[in-house]
Amino acid sequence: MFPWLTIAIALPVVGAILIWALPRAKAPAEPAVATASARAEGAGGGTATRVRPATGPGVVPSADGTTAKRIALGTSLATLLVVAAMALRFDTSQAGGLQFEQVVPWIPRFGVHYAVGVDGIALVLILMSAVLVPLVIVAAWNEHDDREDGGRGYFALILVLEAMMVGVFAATDVFLFYVFFEAMLIPVYFMIGRYGLGDERAKAAVKFLLYSLAGGLVMLVAVIGVYVYGGTFLWTDLTDPGGALAAIDPSTARWLFLGFFIAFAIKAPMWPVHTWLPDAAQSSRPGTAVLLVGVLDKVGTYGMLRFCLELFPSAVSWFVWPVVALSLVSIVYGAILAIGQSDMMRLIAYTSVSHFGFITLGIFALTPQAQAGAALYMVNHGFATGALFLIVGFLIARQGSARIADYGGVQKVAPRLAGAFLVVGLAGLALPGLAPFVSEFLVFVGVYAFSPVPAVLATAGVVLAALYILWMYQRTMAGPTPDQLTGLRDLSVREMWAVGPLIALIIAFGLYPQPMLDVINPAVERTVEIVPEAGVVADGASEEGDHE
């Protein structure tokens, strides 16, 4: 079988190596200076980032930076073509099982394999990743022209991260998944700490790293436990109902479940282990924030579906209601904190905490509609929030500030930018006709079938979403235009190429989501069938849970 997934992983790595092999520029340029404004008052929290572009004759695009951009864009487009060609060959009638599998011994002594394959959920997440990366590169085209290397290292790190993202969604060996899961931390750490914005970027990068490493170490213990009790790392063998892992003691299964869940909850992130995300988003370049929130955080929710539910079905009933409660807190808490933010990047980060609450709520409702909605929400959130980060990034690049108070009346001087902001903002509050509405509606339908109470409580998140999105739009785009914004440029052709495809996808999947659902539904049905408590957890705990 043609190694589609291996090629999709290898191409970005080759592109990154080519970029790093480029000769250094001889004439250094003065780097941009990032300063932080005064700490926002009240519930705004954090420091609003203000960026002062470098000036002087040395600020010119370097030759190696321009070449690096072209290599990065070409490589990402080639990867997208490979993934798209693979998707066209995907058999939707067999979407519940793994396709395009490769299993090669890697460390035979320890039973570790290079094993990759995709079901419907993994396929759409890989497609989402492959779409976002070239758009991020286009959006960031001129961001690093003032650096000595022209941003060569940044674009190489994007490609390395793309390879890790494809690998983590494709891995069907638990140890290989763990390797990709941890390896993603390296490029993101440098993308925030070295290429980020503001005086707090190093602190934010370290905080992200420490949270992620803590979760990864807990998961490593669980990974070892899976091998000890299951005798293999291969996901297909571990999920076999007649396999050794299926026969383990229920209390052991619960501890192993918890080990994976803690790591995934941090990655998602869920309340109360979410605090790294607003700091990381605020200190990131917009492109980094797109990949961080649009893709990397989905690894957490994907891991819950793939590993927590399918490896330990007997333990699920013990955790359903606690996770549902945490999800509801995330929905409401994230939305309330978003309303109080004065920094646009932090605001979007908190909206994502709320949105991830909807996703985890759908996953642990254990109904086909809710899980299909959750899987679809992962993709739609990636497109909608990715577009919002990019548009806010364009605005920050023009004015040099992420503070909401520094804007107003933008729609009068930059109507295209304001119009794009409005569309993606309405997608963020799940307006009917736009892609997130379909996924959120499915989550509500499925959760209501599970239990009406959490479904009703979760509607608070919908109401609050309208407040924080429309409030941000009103404060930045409507009203009188301040004197300092009268010369604000509208979206350029390059910027429209970066955000236009995302808006088109948001509208297209809002009007016709069936192609994605046809791919997702069989995988969701398999998960629901694997979890034996799916039909009874809505009434409390399983019979086993009641007696133990």
Full pLDDT tens readout for the chain, 548 residues = 789 999 999 999 999 999 988 887 554 444 444 443 333 333 344 444 444 444 333 444 455 678 888 999 999 999 999 999 999 999 888 877 889 999 999 988 888 999 999 998 999 999 999 999 999 999 988 876 666 666 788 999 999 999 999 999 999 999 999 999 999 999 999 999 888 888 888 999 999 999 999 999 999 999 999 999 988 899 888 888 877 887 888 899 899 999 999 999 998 888 888 888 898 988 888 889 999 888 888 899 999 988 989 888 888 888 999 999 999 999 999 999 999 888 899 999 999 899 999 999 999 998 899 999 999 999 999 999 999 999 999 988 888 888 898 888 888 888 999 999 999 999 988 889 999 999 999 999 999 998 899 999 999 888 888 888 899 999 998 888 888 888 888 888 998 999 999 999 999 999 999 999 999 998 888 888 877 554 444 444 334 444 34
Q: Which long-range contacts (C-beta less than 8 Å, at least 24 apart) are formed by 525-528?
A: 525/96, 525/368, 526/96, 526/97, 526/119, 527/305, 527/309, 527/310, 527/371, 528/366, 528/367, 528/368, 528/371
Classify strands 112-118 and 47-52 as parallel, antiparallel or unpaired. unpaired
Q: Is the peptide bond before 187 cis (omega within 30 degrees of 0)?
A: no
Backbone angles phi, psi at 265, to 5 degrees: -65, -40
Tokens (6 digits) for 167: 């690998």
Q: How far is CA 186 from CA 157, 180, 208, 212, 224, in A?
A: 9, 10, 11, 11, 23
Of 15, 25, 27, whose CA–CA distance to 63 is shortest? 25
Classify strands 33-39 and 47-52 as parallel, antiparallel or unpaired. antiparallel
SS3 per residue for 36-66: EEEECCHHHCCEEEEEECCCCCCCCCCHHHH
Cα 477 to Cα 408: distance, rounded to the nearest angstrom? 5
- Per-residue confidence (pLDDT) for residue 145, from 0 to 100: 60
- Per-residue confidence (pLDDT) for residue 532, from 0 to 100: 59
Q: Is the peptide bond before 269 cis (omega within 30 degrees of 0)?
A: yes
Identify any residues that bridge with 102 across adjacent strands, giving them in sequence order: 116
- Per-residue confidence (pLDDT) for residue 148, from 0 to 100: 67
- Per-residue confidence (pLDDT) for residue 134, from 0 to 100: 95
Answer yes or no: are the C-beta atoms of 128 and 168 closer than 8 Å.
no
- Per-residue confidence (pLDDT) for residue 247, from 0 to 100: 83
- Per-residue confidence (pLDDT) for residue 544, from 0 to 100: 41
Q: Is the dihedral of CA 229, 233, 235, 237 positive or negative?
A: negative
pTM value is 0.87
